Amino acid sequence: MRSWHEALPTHPVLERRGAPVPEADTARRTALLATRGTDMIVVVQNELRITPLAQTKRAMDQGVEAPGYKVLHSDVLDFVVQSVHVNPTGKLLVVVGTHTLALVILPRRGYMKQVGARVPVKAVRIGAFYHAPHGTSAIAQCRWHPLGAEGASLVVLTEDAIVREYDVAHDVEEPKQTIAVLPPTRSAPSKWSADDDDEHCAVSCAFGRDIGEGRALASAALSESLDTGAQGAPSWLPYALFVLMRSGDVYVVCPFLPHHATLTRAAIQALATHEAQHTRKYLAEILRQMPAHGVRASPAPDLTLDDDDAPPPEAVAITAPSSVAHRVAVQGPCLLRPSPRELDDEYTSQACDLWVGQIRADDAAARLDVLAIAARDGSLHLGLLAAPIAPAWARATAAPTIAVYECVDFALPAARASLLAANHVSLMEDPLYPDTIYATHRYGMHALSLRSWTAPLLEAMAHNDTQALQQTAQDGIPTDVTCIVRMPADQAASIAGALVLNDVYLSYTLVVLTADGQLAARELTLQASAGASGPVPAAEAERTYRPVLSHPFTAPSALAPAPLALPRSWAPRTAVLPVTPDALRALGQLAEAVRARLQEVAAAGNAVQARVSEQMAEMQRQLRELQVAQERATSLEARKVLERVRRLEETQAETMQRFDTLLQQLMDEHTPQLSMYERRWFDELERMAREFGAPESRAEAQRQKLAHQLEVLRPQLQARAAQRASEPGASALGTRQLARVESVLAEEAQLLAQARAKVQRLQQAMYARS
């Protein structure tokens, strides 16, 4: 009988029916697979389908037909779905398109009992004024903030590097926070070049979260780059937002809190004791909202197996300070030292995803802030924060530094040009082991274990051993990379979604969905100990030098001179040995000792002979190696010919350069180049053509954006005009008519004022005469 992992690819939820429909673009970020507890949500043929995995496993284990699925239907979901994300409470689902996103309220647990294959759900558009198919920037990434109250904080990053935070529990139209990551002077590129576009195009965002306190494996840093003096101080990383540009630049926003957040009083008080005056004022405003004895907030239902039986910490719902004095500044771009290695000098690497995690040790206060930057060409840059992240309240703050530890190459079976055009690498963390991350791409999925180099660094920092820290950093132990899903190089389908289940009933399982609707499940192996670390020793067959004399030789003790003699008590006093029982017994013992000594000497002689044989074999091997070395030395004499060839090549290169220079001079004389002013004129004409003439020009995009915003605001304006018209005493005159009437009334008022003044003067004259 097959297990439910093997039978899952034949589940009815993957069936395709009807005519083909537009589906997700795999060249962009796709995440068409999500879970709510034991319920799996999958997007097939642009439909939201949900099925209970627990019932599926039970049915497959019993050999009966697997349960079906339900389609979550709403008229709002009329766009191509690129990704789906369930909020921390498991009640809301955000459906993300290229330019549009919608919020779906998930059905209750008994949805499978409803009649019919389609379940109507309530769905609303999020930020329709800012996210629309025409005239607005494309959506780069959406994430639920882990500190949001009731799991209702949704952070949306658009490609124009603007971060918007929506509190979907209160308002889905207007964002609570809007942050422009790039400064105003860099909001638009000044030249028409790919480099400038990459520097201004945001592709990913990540929250700095503590993902391994009490269970993580490693916490360390590079010796020359990391600040090891603040290991015990509280960290601002859980309250920071990282934004990645397509060029690989990383920006940091700290502090970044949801408008309605849930925090613990102890964490805020710990930060307040280690911060400067201005930051203390910011934290003081948060502490004023917290009671002296924190009230436990209603926690989100735990959808995974948690080994910790302790109650959750006391958390309080607060409102993030938003005064002008607490205006947060964007830090960056971060400095990458040393510069990441490029896989191909011909093509510029394009970053596509970012992962940030703070890993702690089990028994030490040291921590490791790890960043991973994935690129389209199949490379992954792993780095560490050189210093703890600190709040920034001014633009003059120094940019953070990322110490690049390693550059991993997945060696994808495709050319760099095709990878840059159609490949997208997405990073995902393991829910059980914080030292493991997964990278999905067009040609499969890789698992990366950071334990091989973070565990030695952690041990060195835990013991405050600077020398061991430097040695570990210099050794450069590589990351353990394993390919767990491999797609054929000629197959068009790619990985469209992946997740790792960590449930007591469903076990520790990896589920992968391909773009053509194939589902694969694989049970992962639990590690024996999260703290086990250390590099695997190289096999004996891989050693390049194998000496015959593998151990030193010690001369046997039997060869040392040790005379045998009778005991003094039995020594004869005369020249003739008396024949007595005691004397015969002494002679017998001495003969036995001589016989044993002879056997030891024979064994020692055999050992010496074996050692001589080994030395002869070692001498012959060394003679062979010496002969090989002599042959190599003889072959080095042939370098004289190579030196002559090299000189000829240099001379040829110089001659070709002279020919090129002469040819260029002749071309300039025959067809002169344009003058500086002519080049400027043609550049200006080209800029104006791109700005106004092209179908996808900026002017056309701005016109479409304004048209869309007008359509969004038109119902509100019509409603307001109708309200004004229905108010009592509302004037039916137009603007010009009102202006004309007001001018006539002003003239009449002026005449009345003049007449009143004349009457007053007449009265005064009459009173004076009387």
CB 214 within 8 Å of CB 149: no
Tell me: the pLDDT tens digits for 53-62?
A: 888 888 877 7
Q: What is the pLDDT of residue 311?
A: 41
* pLDDT per 10-residue tile (average), the chain, 770 residues: 76 86 88 92 93 86 81 93 94 94 91 86 93 89 93 94 94 93 63 62 86 32 38 79 94 93 88 80 88 52 40 74 81 87 79 88 74 92 90 78 90 83 90 89 91 83 80 83 84 84 86 89 74 38 52 72 59 64 80 84 84 85 86 72 82 87 78 76 81 71 83 85 71 74 88 86 73
Domain-embedded: residue 222:
no
Domain-embedded: residue 452:
no
294 exposed, middle or buried (CB, 10 Å; 0-12, 13-18, 19+)? Answer: middle
Residue 344 to residues 213, 322, 421: CA-CA distances in angstroms? 39, 46, 15
- Both tokens of 728, joined, read 């009592």
Coarse DSSP helix, strand, coil percentages of the chain, rounded to the nearest 5 percent: 35, 20, 40
What residue spans of 526-580 are helical by DSSP H? none
Distance CA 254, CA 734 (A): 53
Q: What is the pLDDT of residue 653?
A: 87
- Both tokens of 57, joined, read 């496993």
CB 204 within 8 Å of CB 244: yes
Domain-embedded: residue 39:
yes
Q: What is the pLDDT of residue 304?
A: 37
* pTM of model > 0.85: no
Domain-embedded: residue 391:
no
Residue 498 falls in which region: left (phi positive, over 0), alpha (psi -120 to 50) or beta: beta
Q: What is the pLDDT of residue 402?
A: 92
The domain tally of the chain equals 1
Distance CA 93, CA 75 (A): 16
Tell me: the pLDDT tens digits for 741-752?
A: 888 888 888 888
The one-letter code for the residue type at 320 is: A
Domain-embedded: residue 23:
yes
Q: What is the pLDDT of residue 227?
A: 45
What is the SS3 assignment for 122? coil
Distance from CA of residue 250 to its chain's centroid? 11
Tell me: the pLDDT tens digits for 556-588?
A: 777 776 665 555 555 555 556 677 787 788 788
Residue 161: CATH number of its domain:
2.130.10.10
Residue 342 to residues 268, 401, 438: CA-CA distances in angstroms? 41, 19, 21
Domain-embedded: residue 161:
yes
Domain-embedded: residue 486:
no
Range of the domain at 13: 1-180
